[in-house]
A = this chain, B = another copy of it.
Amino acid sequence: MTKQISFNAFEMNCIAHQSPGLWRHPSDRSTEYKDIEYWTDLAKILEKGLFDGIFIADVLGIYDVYHQSAEHALTGAVQVPVNDPLQIVPAMAAVTQHLGFGVTTSISFEHPYPFARRISTLDHLTKGRVGWNIVTSYLESGSKNLGLSAQLNHDDRYEVADEYLEVLYKLWEGSWEDGAVLRDKHAGRFADHTKVHPILHEGQYFKVPGIHICEPSPQRTPVLYQAGASTRGQKFASQNAECIFIAPPSKIAAKKIVQSIRQKLREEGRDPYSVKIYTLLSIVTGETDQKADAKFKEYQSYGSYDGALTLVSGWSGVDFSQYQAKDRVEYIETNAIQSMLDAYVNADPDRIWTIEEIAQWNSVGGNGPVIVGSAQTVADELQHWIEETDVDGFNLAYILAHQTFIDVVDFIVPELQRRGVYQTEYGHGTLREKLFGHGPHLAENHRGAKYRQGTKNKFAHAS
């Protein structure tokens, strides 16, 4: 039997998230991102399509590397303005029963103590449907506005992240024992205070003496997502993540990353398949291949060259305005552009990419590939992806809000269900139980589990 396929929706509280320029299309709704109905409508579409969840990206900063200016970002609405990702979740939760919510937050931007409360509150309100995408850095333009003079260097960032997670695990897993909450109206005892423990955390970066201010939420620790692609990032992910998002441009590149992630999990003593890996994709579909192709061509005509290079410049830190449209990527010093451009080169070693082609690639569906065709064609290709790369599912970016997701739900989901590779109803319980068939809490061999039912002594010994 072919492996089951899972869908996540990839969103952000902004306009034309991964498809710069497409907001100009008459049918695109993403300029309504600031309205509550935009999100409640979307949540209902995704739940109808039995999506695992919606994954909400975030960037608290402006893409101002391209032309060393914010002009193109502002004129073209390239991920700016961008609203808070957290607050759209309670509204979506109010109109759904099963859909999961992955919220992105950087550990640089809030102290772990109030952050722990935010996530516990959300897990309560959603009855255990929350995931957290752990981000360790942000755009330089964002950190400046918080008075952080420079980003921590890459490896130090993970030192802080390790301790940040430790504080959270102590609060979420250890502070309130199972059975601490009695809720006994008759006896007048809400909690057994002997089972509620101050975490007494004194670390290098944080001092948190107190108890968690929230009672345990359904999942305690939210489902943990990560998207780090660097070696250090993969180590961090292999210790903490339960879901990993990747964004390679091709199956060849995806296969390498997936192998590396599963190997790291083995090295950490975790089942390599205890983590779900979702890869970024977009889908353009219709009744026939021809109709889908025509749709795609029309979408491409709305893509923005400047918008795409605004994103690519921000992601890579390199001002692409210094290159001409016909310049070939092989002539760019790729080591200065981090791993991103390498991925394009590796994706298809025989292809010579021009700047223009990279811009076009990124202007529709972001840096992930776009699969175009009828339901049969797309389903075939999705199955090829699953078989050849060993990913567990797809993180689907939209091209047109919400039409892309409506098309996926109307065309692709039924086809995959017919093939027996897509769920026909939601599983029971919390997001973690739906994803992994166990829970609602972290698996016993997860790093966070050792902080459970803590006593003062246990905390002192745990590391």
A interface, CB within 8 angstroms of B: 13, 15, 21, 23-26, 31, 34-36, 40, 60-62, 70-71, 74-77, 80-84, 86-91, 93-95, 109-111, 113-114, 117-118, 120-122, 124-127, 141, 144-147, 183, 185-186, 188-193, 196, 206-211, 213-215, 217, 304
| A124 in contact with B83 given A117-B60, A213-B60 (CB within 8 Å) | yes
CB atoms of A26 and B62 under 8 A apart? no
Contacts of A95 in B (CB 8 A): 94
Shortest Cβ gap from A102 to chain B (Å): 16
Q: Copies per complex? A: 2
Contacts of A144 in B (CB 8 A): 209-210
CB atoms of B190 and A76 under 8 A apart? yes
Inter-chain CA distance A71–B196, complex, in Å, is: 10
Shortest Cβ gap from A132 to chain B (Å): 14
Contacts of A186 in B (CB 8 A): 24
Inter-chain CA distance A25–B86, complex, in Å, is: 34
Contacts of A211 in B (CB 8 A): 62, 70
Inter-chain CA distance A190–B14, complex, in Å, is: 12
**Which one of B91, B122, B145 contacts A93 once the chains associate, using CB atoms below 8 Å?**
B91
Most chain B beta carbons < 10 A, residue from A62, A120, A141, A211: A211
Contacts of A87 in B (CB 8 A): 86-87, 89-90, 118, 121-122, 125
CB atoms of A215 and B117 under 8 A apart? no
- Closest 9 A/B residue pairs (Cβ): A77-B190, A34-B124, A84-B121, A83-B121, A74-B193, A90-B91, A81-B215, A90-B90, A113-B145
Contacts of A124 in B (CB 8 A): 34-35, 83
Contacts of A75 in B (CB 8 A): 189-193
